[in-house]
């Protein structure tokens, strides 16, 4: 099993200084490694790639046309998406509000812990942002606190080097946009992704 994790929004709480009001983390789940290879090939051969080449797929930086082409290409690919959506205005824990790293770790770990029994001996790939100490802490937390047999190993990759990390970014962006009804086409790409969505958990 192969899983790619990325997020949309940020874990900060300075909303008056541009921090996002919503944080979304996603897991893109491939039950077999070959499904990841099939999906990667589909993306690389898609019209979205031809139009967007050689740029990295990032939801926030793609045009609407590229988003349409991208999600049109992947909607039948063999993966599942699980996500957690956190509205920051309901978070009152001083510990989580004081540390971006704790906030990120807590909610990614929560998303993976409540997995409906899907995770098994999974190899996890996470967008490689953050400093080395934070990556080591997150690695340890996921490997030791999710229960025996769920996680095999955790790796970090820069998104521009891995199109499946970019897929996770695009999925996170599509789900996050659906919570902004004031934006044009706010739920358009989530609807396109719907066949691949296994669960979206609105944290309460």
User: Over the chain, what is the mean pLDDT?
Assistant: 92
Residue 113 has pLDDT above 90, yes or no: no
What lies within 8 Å, CB to CB, of 20 at 6+ separation is 8, 9, 10, 12, 88, 176
- Using the predicted structure, report yes or no on whether residue 111 has a pLDDT greater than 70: yes
Q: Distance between the two ends of the chain, CA-based, in angstroms?
A: 29
Average of per-residue pLDDT across 73-85: 97
Domains in the chain, number: 1
Domain of 148?
2-202
A 10 A CB-CB count for 199 gives 15
Q: What is the pLDDT of residue 84?
A: 97
What CATH number has the domain bearing residue 86? 3.30.420.10
The confidence score (pLDDT) of residue 130 equals 63
CA distance 178 to 202: 12
**pLDDT, tens digit, for every residue of 130-159?**
667 777 878 887 877 777 788 888 888 888
| pLDDT given at position 202 | 96
Burial of 174 (0-12, 13-18, 19+ CB in 10 A): buried
Residue 132: the pLDDT is 73
Name residues whose C-beta falls within 8 Å of residue 192's C-beta, 6 or more positions apart in sequence: 68, 71, 72, 75, 174
The pLDDT, as a whole number, for residue 149 is 84
Centre a 10 Å sphere on the Cβ of residue 59 and count the other Cβ atoms it contains.
22
> Could you give the residue ranges of the DSSP H alpha helices within 75-201?
94-98, 100-113, 132-145, 163-177, 188-193
| Whole-number pLDDT of residue 129 | 65
Lowest mean pLDDT among 9-13, 126-130, 185-189: 126-130
Decide if 143 contacts 154 (C-beta within 8 A): yes
């Amino acid at each position: 099993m192969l899983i790619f994790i990325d997020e949309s929004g940020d874990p900060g709480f300075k909303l008056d200084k541009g921090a996002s009001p919503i944080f979304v983390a996603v897991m893109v789940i491939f039950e077999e490694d070959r499904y990841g290879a099939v999906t990667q090939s589909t993306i690389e051969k898609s019209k979205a790639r031809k139009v967007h080449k050689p740029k990295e797929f990032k939801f926030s930086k793609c045009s609407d046309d590229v988003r349409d082409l991208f999600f049109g290409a992947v909607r039948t690919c063999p993966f599942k998406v699980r996500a957690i959506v956190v509205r920051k205005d309901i978070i009152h824990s001083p510990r989580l509000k004081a540390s971006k790293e704790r906030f990120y770790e807590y909610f990614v770990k929560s998303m993976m812990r409540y997995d409906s029994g899907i995770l098994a001996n999974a190899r996890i790939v996470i967008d490689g942002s953050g400093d080395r100490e934070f990556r080591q802490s997150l690695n340890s937390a996921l490997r030791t606190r999710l229960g025996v047999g769920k996680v095999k190993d955790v790796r970090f990759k820069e998104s521009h080097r891995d199109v499946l990390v970019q897929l996770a970014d695009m999925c996170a962006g599509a789900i996050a946009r659906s919570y902004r009804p004031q934006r044009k086409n706010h739920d358009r790409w989530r609807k396109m992704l719907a066949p691949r969505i296994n669960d979206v958990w609105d944290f309460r």
